[in-house]
Structure 1
Amino acid sequence: MSDAAADAKTARQGWMSLLAKAPEAVFLNLWSDYGPKPDFTWLRAPEVGGVMVRGRMGGSGAPFNLGEMTVTRCSLTLAGGAVGHGYVQGRSKAKAEAAAIVDALMQTDAAGAVEAAVLRPLSQTVEATKTRRAAKAAATKVEFFTLVRGED
């Protein structure tokens, strides 16, 4: 795989991850403010299902089944031929549809406008939420220490 193809793949993984995990209300609000929506044809209409979430102890141990998670997925193609996929946590068909359209648009000439209007503000909101959560957790951190008693 060439460097350009690898960079494109990494960039797509980034925006797909952001769209999948983003808070639904924030994402759909930003998407509703975006300009005219493109025409598309469904390849796979939004459908709700479940996936098995797997984990590893310490990130490198033997895999184990952690539990199931509900996801919604869909696929579509724009009039220009770009194909978009939407996989999102939960049961929101509207969020999956919007994520698929954004994915497809990011593969067209409209990518800059979509990134500026939707992805960048969404990323900033997600980062701000992470920062607030980290600060709240840090405020409850307890430091333990042991005093030497002088006895041996």
Structure 2
Amino acid sequence: MSSPENQQAERQSWIGLLARSNPARLAALIPGPLPEHADLRAPEIGAVMVRGRVSTNGAPFNLGEMTVTRCSLRLACGAVGHAYVQGRDRDHARRAAILDALMQTEAAAELRHTVLDPLAAEEAARRGARAAKAAATKVEFFTLVRGEDA
């Protein structure tokens, strides 16, 4: 059995993946009807302060606010799920919270295979495409040796 720290890191990983996922793609992977659940905190829209840092050890500063939607719910089996997603999409937050709760049940292995693994592969492909696009614009600078420097 894994340690509580490993379980927490694993849960943080899938919650982050669900938050970054495309809402339409998540809805396609988890079609309705959704499992029976009770809202602990119905999806609500708010704002959070985004903080920045000049360098790895620089003083933090407030960069600005970002709109988020959060949701907490309890499944009929008792599992509790939470989600924070960027933007104003209540359905995205609800589906992410439901999946978080389901990942704490016996269905976790199947859901990892059918939902999380495809989302992770798509995210990796998007990041790779963005990195390739950025690499194409990279400029290499070099200095020529002049006669008097030799």
Determine if the TM-score, normalized by the shorter chain, exceeds 0.5: yes
Q: Deviations over 1:16-59 (max 9, x none)?
A: 11111112222222222xx8632100001000000000111212
Q: Deviations over 1:73-95 (max 9, x none)?
A: 01000011100001101110000
Separation (CA, whole Å) in 1 of partners of 2:62 and 2:28: 35
Q: How does 1:86-101 map to 2 (within 5 A)?
A: 86-101=83-98
One of 30, 35, 40 as aligned partner of 1:38: 35
Identity of aligned residues (%): 59
Query: Root-mean-square deviation (CA), in Å?
Result: 1.5
Residue 146 (structure 2) aligns with: 149
What is the CA deviation profile of residues 1-24 of structure 1, one whole-angstrom value per residue up to 9, with x for unaligned ones? xx6111110000000111111122
- Amino acid in structure 2 at the alignment position of 1:62: A
Q: What's the counterpart of residue 59 of structure 1?
A: 56
How far apart are the structure 2 equivalents of 1:60 and 1:113? 42
What is the DSSP-based 3-state SS (H/G/I as helix, E as strand, rest coil) of the residue aligned with 1:114?
Answer: helix
- Count of equivalent residues: 149
Distance 2:139 2:27 in 1: 39
Aligned equivalents of 1:91 and 1:36: distance in 2? 22
Instruction: Report the equivalent of 1:11.
Output: 10
| Cα deviation 1:54-75 (Å, max 9, x = unaligned) | 1112122111001100000010
Which residue is 2:76 aligned to? Answer: 79
Q: State yes or no: 1:28 paired with 2:37.
A: no
How many Å apart are 1:116 and its aligned residue? Answer: 1.0
The letter of the residue matching 2:22 is: P
C-alpha distance in 1 between matches for 2:60 and 2:136: 33
Deviates more, 1:102-111 or 1:53-62: 53-62
Equivalences for residues 107-118 of structure 1 within 5 A: 107-118=104-115
* Segments ≥4 residues shifted beyond 4 Å: none
